Chain A
Amino acid sequence: MKALKWLLGPYMLAVVVAAFLWPQPAKGFIGESSRIVFFHVPCAWTATLAFIVAAVASIIHLAKRDVGSDEAAAAAVRLGFLFSILATVTGSIFADVMWGSFWNWDPRETSIVLLLFLYAAYLFLRGAIADPERRGVFCAAYALFSGFVMPFLMFVVPRVTASLHPQTVINREGKILMDMPTKVVFFTALAGFTALFFWMWDLDRRLERMKRTVQGLERLE
């Protein structure tokens, strides 16, 4: 595991270098703006993955009522929220280059804002309930509900109305519309971001566990 963490550094550095040097800019995009696909889509994918992980951890928490699964869900939501913000920011940079404005209320932009609100509410809910048992159950139920809403916001809503957003990855043809170098760098970046998420998720859970241990020791003294 430790070796993988050490390898992730040079791996992602290679992804960054390849993203800017290897594939040619895609046709139909202004300048080099298409290169953002190597960062924007992995951020959106990582956010989706994080919210799925949160929903699964919440199901486990509702079944077992253990502290670990509650903390796992909370850590996944925190990271999903972070990666959603990164996806929104990178998307806005692309929007400014391609469409002349950072924000256009495009269906995809609107749906990610709703997603951010949905998971921000989870974090508010978590902060509002002091009793750990009640907090765990309420938050797990809410994360599960959000887990059902999230696919509609990420995959369905942006496609039922006309959108400016490129349909490179998910489209009606069911094909990834990229040339081979772009595809290689894209999937390498996806794998790297996925590994980064699981590492950060592990760190967040361990930090929470450590906080609990310290609080327990302080109560003993």
Chain B
Amino acid sequence: MSALGFVAASNAVIWVGIWIYLLRLDSRLSASEKAAAGTRSD
């Protein structure tokens, strides 16, 4: 693999990793917000 190919592949892997992390954080946060809203209304 050329140096440019390696940098491109690393960039793609880093971006996909960040994206998956943000998606998971978002969904976990949404679940916590729903649970907190339920606790407040009890």
Contact = CB atoms under 8 A, between A and B. Distances in A.
Interface of A: 5-6, 8-9, 12-13, 16-17, 19-21, 32, 39, 199-200, 203, 206-207, 210, 213-214, 217
B12 A200 contact: no
A206 B29 contact: yes
By size class, the interface of chain B is 20 to 34
A12 B19 contact: yes
B36 A13 contact: no
Contacts of A20: 4-5, 7-8, 11
Given A199-B22, A206-B33, A32 B16 contact: no
Contact of B4 (A5, A6, A32, A213): A32
Contacts of B29: 203, 206-207, 210
Given A210-B32, A217-B39, A16 B26 contact: no
Contacts of B15: 9, 12-13, 16
Nearest to A21: B8
26 contacts: A5-B22, A5-B23, A6-B23, A8-B19, A9-B15, A9-B20, A9-B23, A13-B16, A16-B11, A17-B12, A20-B7, A21-B8, A32-B4, A39-B11, A203-B22, A203-B25, A203-B26, A203-B29, A206-B29, A207-B29, A210-B29, A210-B32, A210-B33, A210-B36, A213-B36, A214-B36
Nearest to B14: A16
Q: Main secondary structure on chain B at its contact with chain A?
A: helix
A54 to B, nearest CB: 21
A5 B12 CA distance: 17
Interface in B2-42: 4-5, 7-8, 11-12, 15-16, 19-20, 22-23, 25-26, 29, 32-33, 36, 39-40
A29 to B, nearest CB: 14
A30 to B, nearest CB: 13
